[in-house]
Structure 1
Amino acid sequence: MAENALDRDTGVSHIVWDWNGTLLDDNDANIAAVNKVCAEFGSPPVGLEYWRSVFRRPLRPCYEELLGRGLTTHEWERLNESYEHHYSAALPTCGLAAGVPDVLEEWSAAGGTQSLLSMAAHRHLVPLVNERGLGHHFTRVDGRRFDGGHDSKAEHLVAHLTRQEVDPATVVLIGDIDDDAVAAREAGAHAVLVATGMMSEERLRATGHPVVPSLAEAVAALTR
């Protein structure tokens, strides 16, 4: 565990969980969909570790770098549709991350509250969470309900906490990419990053936030 790990002294009482790459183990579905996009746009396939080394938000310049050229508005829309189609086709093979739902139950037992915020479309997210039997753990579940100006989770997190009337100072966002750290910082919340999803541990550590190898260690840092 990182030396600057959170503990009870921070006053954290609410976790906002990320979904993709955090509670849902969907790395294989992600890279499969990315490589379908690469094939359709005439680029060679990439490996998961390479994608974890370059993936970032905003997504459009990330994909333009991957494909080696700019994308027109029409092409960007087509790319998104293609990715969603192939990712959705692979979703049934995705399981929950190691430790789920135990970590959710552990946090509740310790007296904490928790909610879920994802950049996945809201209409797609809610059925997935409920199908996996997790909905009852959360005070609120929000997917992407609007398109922000910077393709970041930051303004979505502010809205998510405002709707619940939760003080950001009592919140820790647990996610798997550096944008989760940016969102937490801009909202006035804490962040713990798990090195299990779409971004390499080295890149996560560059944010200066605590980085852990598992969800169990993330929750342990808040309950010990």
Structure 2
Amino acid sequence: MRNNRKLTAVIWDWNGTLLNDVKVSLLSVNEELAARNLPQISENFYRSHFDFPVKDFYQKLGINFSRDNFDEMSRRFLETYFRNLQLATLHEGVEEVLQFLKDHGIRQYVLSAMEQKRLEKMLAGYGIDHFFEKIQGLDDIYADGKRSASEKLIETIHPDKSSTWMVGDTLHDLDVANAMGIHCVLLSSGHQTRERLLRQHDRVVNNYREIKEFFALLI
């Protein structure tokens, strides 16, 4: 019976998990660094050090918020991000896995630190919004994490937490899943390296083929 399943719902992170946008984010970071004559960083450095809250990450790169306004920098970051968004694609296999879960009656949601209207527009633009019963983002553009958004989502959907899984690509996603009281599996091809993820979590997959195989065992 359905209520005996180990998987009844999946909450997906967007940036880095469904959307492969690491290169786009890196371009935005490096543009902010260049504007301050600070050293550019590589993709490997970015994935090895990126973290939430993002303000702390920027400070570690040398940006001084006693001189720079964080809100203004966040706005410029997003302007650069959306200017280069054509470089971002869905991870290979995303639509296959979303359809697989839909075919098995698994409820699906999106939880993101992106502003709500932009998030909805992006999901529609990539043609996958119809897979999700609820899309939950933030009320403003300033990416301070997704704890508050996760609380709203849980209050709205009332999932069976014992059979609900979050799929993310950062340790922050793991923290959010733990705060929601649900399970978590992390994708190692997003904004943080496999090595970083494995230091704190043992359920780490490399790609969507492995995600599908993992969930197939729970259905």
TM-score, normalised to structure 1, is 0.89
* 8 Å contact from structure 1 (residues 191, 209) kept in 2: no
Q: Distance in 1 between matches of 2:209 and 2:151?
A: 26
CA distance in 2 between counterparts of 1:208 and 1:23 reads: 20
Contact 2:8 2:164 in 1 (8 A): yes
- Equivalenced residue count is 215
Task: Rate the CA distance shift 1:77–1:201 in 2: closer, same or farther, 3 A.
Answer: same
Is it true that 1:100 corresponds to 2:94 in the alignment? yes
Which residue is 1:203 aligned to? Answer: 196
Aligned in 2, Cα 1:165/1:73: closer, same or farther, shift over 3 Å? farther
Report the Cα offset of residue 126 of structure 1. Answer: 0.5
Q: Supply the distance in 2 between the matched residues of 1:97 and 1:91 (Cα, whole angstroms).
A: 14
- 2:214, 2:151 → 1: CA distance? 24
1:157-176 pair list within 5 angstroms: 157-176=150-169
Identity over aligned pairs, percent: 25
Is 1:117 the counterpart of 2:83? The answer is no
After TM superposition, give the deviation of residue 42 of structure 1 in Å: 1.9
Tell me which residue corresponds to 1:25.
20
Which letter does structure 1 place at the counterpart of 2:20?
D
Structure 1 position 9, deviation (Å): 8.0
Q: CA deviation at 1:65?
A: 0.5
How many angstroms apart in 1 are the aligned matches of 2:207 and 2:127?
21
Structure 1 residues 9 and 208 mapped into 2: Cα distance closer, same or farther (>3 Å)?
farther
Written as runs of structure 1 = structure 2, the 5 A alignment for 1:72-87 is 72=66, 74-87=68-81
On the 8 A contact 1:25/1:94 being kept in 2, the answer is yes
Give CA-to-partner distance per residue, 1:47-78, whole Å, 9 cap, x none.
000011110001111100012x5313852122
Describe the shift of the 1:169–1:157 C-alpha distance in structure 2 as closer, same or farther (beyond 3 A): farther
* Ranges in structure 2 where 5+ consecutive residues have no aligned partner: none
* Offset from partner CA, 1:97-119 (integer Å, 9 cap, x none): 11021110011112211111111
Q: Secondary structure at the match of 2:17?
A: coil
Rounded Cα–Cα distance in structure 1 between residues aligned with 2:148 and 2:163: 18
2:120 alignment counterpart: 126
The one-letter code sitting in structure 2 at the alignment partner of 1:18 is D
Structure 2 CA distance for aligned equivalents of residues 110 and 220 of structure 1: 14
SS at match of 1:206: helix
Cα RMSD over matched residues?
A: 2.1
1:55 maps to 2:50: yes
What aligned pairs does 1:61-76 form with structure 2 within 5 A after superposition?
A: 61-67=56-62, 69-72=63-66, 74-76=68-70
Conserved in 1, the CA contact under 8 Å of 2:114 and 2:141? no
Shift of 1:32: 0.7
Q: Which amino acid aligns with 2:200?
A: T
Shift of 1:216: 2.6
**Which of residues 148, 159, 163 is equivalent to 1:155?**
148
Q: Is the 8 A contact 1:158 1:187 kept in 2?
A: yes
1:90 to 66, 84, 93: 84
1:3 paired residue number? none
AA aligned opposite 1:123: K
> 8 Å contact 2:8–2:160 — kept in the other structure?
no
CA contact (8 A) 2:74 2:141 kept: no
